[in-house]
Amino acid sequence: MSDRVFGGVGLALAVFYIWQATLIEESFIQDMVGPKMFPFIIGAVLGLSSLWFLLRPDPSPRWPGAGRLFEIGMAVAVMVAYTIMLPELGFVIATAIASAYLTWRLGTRPLQSVVAGVATSLGIYVVFRLILGLSLAKGPLGF
Closest CA relative to residue 26, chosen from 41, 13, 37, 17: 37
State pTM to two decimals: 0.68
Confidence of residue 25 (pLDDT cuts 50, 70, 90): confident
Q: Collect all residues with Cβ–Cβ distance below 8 Å to 82 and sequence separation of at least 6.
A: 94, 95, 97, 98
- Res 126 pLDDT > 80: yes
pLDDT of residue 49: 95
Pick from 63, 46, 65: which is nearest to 7 by CA?
46
> For residue range 69-118, what is the model confidence (pLDDT) as tens digits?
999 999 999 999 999 999 999 999 999 999 999 999 999 999 999 999 99
**pLDDT band at residue 36 using 50, 70 and 90 as cut-offs:** confident
Percent of the chain with pLDDT over 70: 94
